Amino acid sequence: MSDAIVGISAYYHDSAAAILVDGDIIAAAHEERFTRKKHDSTFPHNALKYVLLEAGRDLSDISAIVFYDKPWLKFERLLETYHAFAPKGLTSFSFAIPVWIKEKLFTKKIIRDELLKIGPGKPPLLFPEHHLSHASSAFYPSPFNEAAILTIDGVGEWATATIGYGKGKIIKILRELYFPHSLGLLYSAFTYYCGFKVNSGEYKLMGLAPYGISNSNETKTWKQKILSEMIDLRENGSFLLNMDYFNFATGLTMCNEKKWEKLFGIPRRKSESLLTQSYMNLALAIQEVTEEIVFLLAEETKKITECEYLVMAGGVALNCVANGNLLRRGTFKDIWIQPAAGDAGGALGAAYIGWHIWKNNNRKVTVGNDSMHGAYLGPEYSSSDYIRLTRKYNAPYKHYEKFDTLCKDVANLIA
Binding-site ranges for Fe ion (CB under 5 A): 153, 343
Residue 345 Cβ vs Fe ion, minimum distance, rounded to whole Å: 9
Nearer to Fe ion (CB atom), residue 14 or residue 54: 14
- Residues 349-376 as b/e (b if ≥16 CB within 10 A, e otherwise) read bbbbbbbbbbeebebebeeeebbbeeee
Nearer to Fe ion (CB atom), residue 54 or residue 343: 343
Nearer to Fe ion (CB atom), residue 159 or residue 209: 159
Full DSSP string of 114-126: HHHHH-S----EE
Residue 130 Cβ vs Fe ion, minimum distance, rounded to whole Å: 6
Nearest to 154 by CA among 138, 172, 125, 177: 177
Q: Is 121 in contact with 51 (CB distance < 8 Å)?
A: no
Q: Rounded CA gap, 208 and 304, in Å?
A: 34
Q: Is 375 in contact with 410 (CB distance < 8 Å)?
A: no
Nearer to Fe ion (CB atom), residue 291 or residue 343: 343
Residue 310 Cβ vs Fe ion, minimum distance, rounded to whole Å: 18
| Contact partners, residue 50, CB within 8 Å, separation at least 6 | 17, 27, 29, 34, 378, 379
Residue 136 Cβ vs Fe ion, minimum distance, rounded to whole Å: 12
Nearer to Fe ion (CB atom), residue 300 or residue 343: 343
Nearer to Fe ion (CB atom), residue 212 or residue 314: 314
Closest residue by beta carbon to Fe ion: 153
Nearer to Fe ion (CB atom), residue 129 or residue 153: 153
Q: Is 230 in contact with 175 (CB distance < 8 Å)?
A: no
For the chain, state the CA radius of gyration: 22
Instruction: With residue 17 as reference, give the H or E element that holds it.
Output: strand 16-21
Residue 11 Cβ vs Fe ion, minimum distance, rounded to whole Å: 12
3-state SS class at 252: coil
Nearest to 206 by CA among 298, 325, 299, 301: 325
Residue 49 Cβ vs Fe ion, minimum distance, rounded to whole Å: 24
Residue 341 Cβ vs Fe ion, minimum distance, rounded to whole Å: 9
